[in-house]
Amino acid sequence: MKQDPEIFAIIQKERERQTKGIELIASENFVSDQVLQAMGSVLTNKYAEGYPGHRYYGGCEVVDLAEDLARNRLKQIYNAEYVNVQPHSGAQANMAVFMACLKAGDTFMGLNLSHGGHLSHGSAVNFSGLMFRAIDYSLNEQTGRVDYDELEQKARAERPKLIIAGASAYSREWDYARIRKVADEIGAIFMVDMAHPAGLIAAGLLDNPLKYAHIVTSTTHKTLRGPRGGVILMGKDFANPWGKTTPKGEVKMMSALLDSAVFPGTQGGPLEHVIAAKAVAFGEALQPEFKTYQQQVKKNAAVMAQAFMDLGYKIISGGTDNHSMLVDLRTKYPDLTGKVAEHALVAADITTNKNMVPFDTRSAFQTSGLRFGTPAITTRGLKEDKMPWIVELIDTVLQAPESETNIAKVREVVNQEMNQYPLFAW
């Protein structure tokens, strides 16, 4: 059946890599077999530009059912009034919001990238920083938490049209109500990008940003444990809060602006096979087991952060409220860069990523930090009793990151243990 031995050998190799290691990248997860099957289905053959009931192609009546199911389940999870499940990725979802809310050159505000913000929140090499005027807010150096005083001051001084909350490397809950208040004061749109904690929010373990933000975006493949993709949502209280007048003088509601910003604004045909897989994942997120899973994700992260601190590592902000944590290596190993640490851990089959820490003294290429997260290992079935064991393995590697024998010893222990946690059913 496999007519392409080259690529299928590569897929097999990646499958083995995923199976034998400890996956600690905070933005990754393992999807269910049902999600995989939906993604690898015949729905990939269908063109369906437009939205259910309003397509530019014939024969869309079946994929309409899948997209409607995805939309309805997503609305149910977050108590949303409006959703769009077509963005190909989190960055695409954000781009559509920029298109709908701003004109080129308009000012917006997001969390500083070296303090945990995302590329699409104003990086100079991303569309957000290239086409718009990006200003940032930061973390407080002492607390490691968002400096809301600075955020408010800057918002009042610069009057951005859009304020973005949400991050890629931030382990704490947000004060959404406070940001909404200043956004209202200056007439800004408040968007929350919940790409990372979306699964914890779905399970009710963190505050639901739809209660506060005008617009919420997310990825579907991080804690939410769905296929790689993006979504846009709006909550009940703030559905269609404003209209914007088009050049022709018509007033368009925000939901219509967002829909047309996704298609035809920034994308062509939707990935209906991925949308079907999103529907499967949303269905899973509505089951009681999903809450149990997310509770375990959170518990594992808390225990892991404590285990790091017990060994003398500094965790930014001193702990975690979610699935992730950022380790500042400088406290325990002042000479060790994130780059060298990542490389050594990956060689020991412990996958993680280097990350800048707030007020880092090294470049983004070297960094002084490592980011860890528990969604993937929790899917794998590891419980909190294993977290101190993992942290000890990490510390063993970092004590001698250049030692091949040291790394090989840890790798053997890792492979042997992970053998006991089957990953794929087929």
Ligand X SMILES: *Cc1c(COP(=O)(O)O)cnc(C)c1O
Out of 110, 166, 199, 209, name the contact with ligand X by CB under 6 A.
166
Least spacing, CB of residue 91 vs ligand X, in Å? 3
Given the rule CB under 6 A, which of 48-56, 166-174, 273-281, 398-406 is the region that contacts ligand X? 166-174
The answer to whether residue 228 is catalytic is yes
Active-site residue, selected from the candidate residues 23, 147, 193, 349: 193
Interface with ligand X, residue 129, by CB under 6 A: no
Segment interacting with ligand X, rule: CB under 6 A, options 74-82, 162-170, 177-185, 299-307: 162-170
Smaller CB distance to ligand X: residue 231 or 341?
Answer: 231
**Residue nearest ligand X (C-beta atom):** 90
User: For ligand X, which residue of 21, 27, 60, 146 counts as binding (CB under 6 A)?
Assistant: 27
Which position among 46, 51, 212, 219 bears the catalytic label?
219
Q: Which two tokens stand for residue 277?
A: 């897989």
User: Which two three-digit tokens encode residue 71?
Assistant: 């939309």
CA angle 44-49-53, nearest 5°? 105
User: Do the beta carbons of residue 207 and residue 232 sit within 8 Å?
Assistant: no
Q: Look up residue 287 and give its two tokens.
A: 């089951």
User: Does residue number 168 form part of the binding site for ligand X (CB under 6 A)?
Assistant: yes
Running DSSP on this structure, what letter comes out for residue 424? Answer: -
Q: Taking the complex as a whole, how short is the minimal distance between the CB of residue 300 and ligand X, in angstroms? A: 19
Distance CA(122)–CA(136), nearest Å, equals 8
Place of tokens 């104003």: 122
Determine whether 47 is an active site residue.
yes
In angstroms, rounded to a whole number, what is the distance separating the alpha carbons of residues 135 and 121? 9
Task: Exactly one of 47, 148, 333, 421 is catalytic; name it.
Answer: 47
Active site residue 49: yes
Among positions 84, 112, 114, 120, the unique one binding ligand X when judged by CB under 6 A: 120
Task: Pick the stretch among 41-49, 88-96, 154-162, 321-329 that binds ligand X (CB under 6 A).
Answer: 88-96
CB-wise, 228 or 330, nearer to ligand X? Answer: 228
Question: d(Cα 171, Cα 323) in Å, to the nearest integer?
Answer: 7
Nearer to ligand X, 196 or 386 (CB): 196
Q: Which is nearer to ligand X, 167 or 210 (CB)?
A: 167
Pairwise CA distance, residues 109 & 133, whole Å: 9
> Cβ of residue 26: shortest distance to ligand X, in angstroms?
9
- Give the nearer residue to ligand X in terms of CB position, either 118 or 278: 118
φ, ψ dihedrals at 231, nearest 5°: -145, 160
Q: Which is nearer to ligand X, 161 or 222 (CB)?
A: 222
Other residues' Cβ atoms within 10 Å of the Cβ of residue 130: 12
**Residue 358 sits in the site that holds ligand X (CB under 6 A):** no
Determine whether 350 is exposed, middle or buried from the number of CB atoms within 10 Å of its CB (0-12, 13-18, 19+): buried
Separation CA 277–CA 123 (nearest Å): 30
- Burial, 219: exposed, middle or buried (Cβ in 10 Å; 0-12, 13-18, 19+)? buried
Structural contact between residues 15 and 424, judged by C-beta atoms closer than 8 angstroms: yes
Give the list of residues 6+ apart from residue 313 with CB closer than 8 angstroms, or none. Answer: 327, 328, 329, 331, 332
Interface with ligand X includes 167 (CB under 6 A)? yes
**Looking only at residues 210 through 239 of this chain, which bind ligand X when binding is defined by CB under 6 A?**
219, 230
* 149 Cβ contact list (under 8 Å, min separation 6): none
Kindly state whether residue 90 participates in binding ligand X, applying the rule CB under 6 A.
Answer: yes
Active site residues: 47, 49, 193, 219, 222, 228
Binding residues vs ligand X (CB under 6 A)? 27, 89-91, 118, 120, 166-168, 193, 195-196, 219, 230
